[in-house]
Amino acid sequence: MIDSYIGAAAKIFSTRFSEFLVFKLAISQHDFGPYIDAIMDTYHKEVTWNAALRRLRNGNTRYHRNTTEDKPNEENRRATLVAGQHPFAIILTCTDSRVVPEFIFDAGIGELFVVRVAGNVANSSSIASIEFAVVQFGVRLIVVMGHESCGAVEAAFNGSDLGDNLNDLLAYIKPAVGQATHADVDAVSRINCRNSAQVLVRESDYVREAVDTGDVRIVPAFYNLGSGVVDFDDRV
């Protein structure tokens, strides 16, 4: 019986050898409850955001290869979603009409919690929306996605005066302009995504706590308009 537990654990934790050893030690001491809880908690958290990221990657591959899935059951799906939603990822992205996350990730209704604001900045409104999804729906993955030829980033890059409201918004992007090592709007856009991710962690107690405990992972990303490919910056 114990051998079968060890076998199952070895299969699950084959890439996490140190945790497997802890698990095996716990079994030999016949006091494995707390260890199992701790290991499964860690495993569950990583699998959850990893699985969500893999799902986005796969959806984007289908999109840019023009092999998107038919969604014949949308009528049934609408009916099931009346009672509640369980999105698997939060996407903070730009308002640009060429950037449509549900298309880009080949996702159906109810799958993505999309927050859109010009230049995909982390301001009080977008942060509050993201907090809502993290706290209310337990979403484990946040993607901050900028894109090629972003008009908002270009305006910040050019130092345009677009009136009080837009100037306020562009102020969130301007730090990235200063950080770029060469004059390239797309390079600024990629930096701006990383900055938005950092602001999100800094300004949101809920998000910071979830990131610190490993419950939530934030991944900056960049959408290439021409190819349809999303570059994920998982290093951050």
Closer CB to Zn ion, 152 or 185, in the complex = 152
Q: Which of 91, 150, 173, 197 binds Zn ion (CB under 5 A)?
A: 150
The count of residues interacting with Zn ion (CB under 5 A) is 4
Query: Least separation, in Å, of the C-beta of 81 and Zn ion?
Result: 29
**CA dihedral angle for residue 148, residue 141, residue 18, residue 35, rounded to 10 degrees:** 170
Query: Least separation, in Å, of the C-beta of 152 and Zn ion?
Result: 5
Residue 193 touches Zn ion, criterion: CB under 5 A: no
Whole-number Cα distances in Å, 138 to 1, 74, 95: 35, 24, 25
Closer CB to Zn ion, 145 or 210, in the complex = 145
Hey, which residues between 9 and 38 contact Zn ion (CB under 5 A)?
Answer: none
Query: Least separation, in Å, of the C-beta of 76 and Zn ion?
Result: 34
Query: Least separation, in Å, of the C-beta of 150 and Zn ion?
Result: 3
Closer CB to Zn ion, 94 or 112, in the complex = 94
Rounded CA separation 156/59 (Å) = 31
Hey, which residues between 85 and 144 contact Zn ion (CB under 5 A)?
Answer: 94, 96
Closer CB to Zn ion, 96 or 131, in the complex = 96
Q: Which residues bind Zn ion (CB under 5 A)?
A: 94, 96, 150, 152
